[in-house]
Amino acid sequence: MSRFLTPPSLAQLDGVHADLRRVVLRAAAQAAEAGTPFEVTEGRRSLARQRQLVRDGKSRTLQSRHLGGFAVDVVATDGGKPHHRAASYQAIARSFAAAAAAEGVRIRWGGHIKGLFDGRHFELDRVAYPDPTAARLQRRAPAAPADMPAGGPS
């Protein structure tokens, strides 16, 4: 249990890789102490949900690191309310970096991933933590067009 994350946040960590879970819990404590608390909005994601996100134009890939439980999304909070001030996400990223170093886990922040620039997203390093599910999806190519809506997102 963590006194720095709410029960819904902790529930989102179900199915998330144990190494990433340790980093999130440590980062939550550090971030709270630094005055930039956060909550976890999503951890492991089903393929059905990922397909829906792509259909809705909210994600561009079926190879999401969320599928295998290798990624989490967070939201910065202020007095328990979500907010999107960039400085807070920079601070949260520093808490994650420090927590990952302390745990000996290699992670990447979405704010530093080329072509993604998602400040709410943290994932385990792809080389250190390959996702066998993503490899399977890749081998099944060219399946992508079937997953795309005929007329684009509406």
Task: List phi, psi (to 5°) of 72.
Answer: -135, 150
Instruction: Check if the beta carbon of residue 70 is closer than 8 Å to that of residue 17.
Output: yes
Of 96, 121, 134, 137, the one binding Zn ion by CB under 5 A: 121
Please report whether residue 131 would count as binding Zn ion according to CB under 5 A: no
CA–CA distance, 40 with 21 (Å, rounded to integer):
11
Which among 103, 82, 79 has a CA at the least distance from the CA of 27? 103
Nearest approach, Cβ of 110 to Zn ion (angstroms)?
6
Would you give the binding string for Zn ion spanning residues 63-82, x where CB under 5 A is met? Answer: --------x-x---------
- In the bound state with Zn ion, the residue whose beta carbon lies nearer, of 25 and 40, is 40
Closest listed residue to residue 4, CA positions, set 22, 21, 19, 26:
26
Least separation in angstroms between residue 73's CB and Zn ion is 4
* Binding site residues, Zn ion, CB under 5 A: 71, 73, 121
